[in-house]
């Protein structure tokens, strides 16, 4: 008879201990679930408090990489299609904005600031001169 076929009483003893430990662990795991019965009102208060705390943004880092459309508006005009079709290279279109007047800075179509045009290294830019307050932005949205 080979060593693999011989019956070892220690193997049976170890496996019985493993089963006993597993059964005891299962009893301990199920006991607190039965003992932890709470009234529904207490449970809903805990859930409501957790949801309120989770809804308050603790850190703005989550949204810092979201791209937005930044537009600087020099001015606007209305033009008939007839005149639009006659435009060619070198044509000048008159805008309603005045020279030296602050330019509007819009983020996703919402006015957030005004500024003046600057040239830096042969590229146009805008120097912000006035930031629109959140209260003013809301007031402008309601118009």
What is the number of structural domains in the chain? 2
What digits encode the pLDDT tens for the residues 58-67?
677 888 889 9
Q: Is position 103 within any domain?
A: yes
Same domain, 18 and 71: no
Residue 94 domain-assigned (yes or no) = yes
Tell me, yes or no, whether 3 lies in a domain. Answer: no
Q: Does residue 115 fall inside a structural domain?
A: yes
Domain span including residue 84: 67-141
Residues 33 and 82 in one domain: no
The per-residue pLDDT for range 23-58, each reduced to its tens digit, is 676 666 655 544 445 555 554 555 445 555 555 556
Short-list 49, 94, 54, 91, CA closest to 74: 94
pLDDT score of 16: 60
Is position 128 within any domain? Answer: yes
Q: Is residue 61 part of a domain?
A: no
pLDDT digits (tens, 9 = 90+) for 10-27: 444 445 666 666 667 666
């Amino acid at each position: 008879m080979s060593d693999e076929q011989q019956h070892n009483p220690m193997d049976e003893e170890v496996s019985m201990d493993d089963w006993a430990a597993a059964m005891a662990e299962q009893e301990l795991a199920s006991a607190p679930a039965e003992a932890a019965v709470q009234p529904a009102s207490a449970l809903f208060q805990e859930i409501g408090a957790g949801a309120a705390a989770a809804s308050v943004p603790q850190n703005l880092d989550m949204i810092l990489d979201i791209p937005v459309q930044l537009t600087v508006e020099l001015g606007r005009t209305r033009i008939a299609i007839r005149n639009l079709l006659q435009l060619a290279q070198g044509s000048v279109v008159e805008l309603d904005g005045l020279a030296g007047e602050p330019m509007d800075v819009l983020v996703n179509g919402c006015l957030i600031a005004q500024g003046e045009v600057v040239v830096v290294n042969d590229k146009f830019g805008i120097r912000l001169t006035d930031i629109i307050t959140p209260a003013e932005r809301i007031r402008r949205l309601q118009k």
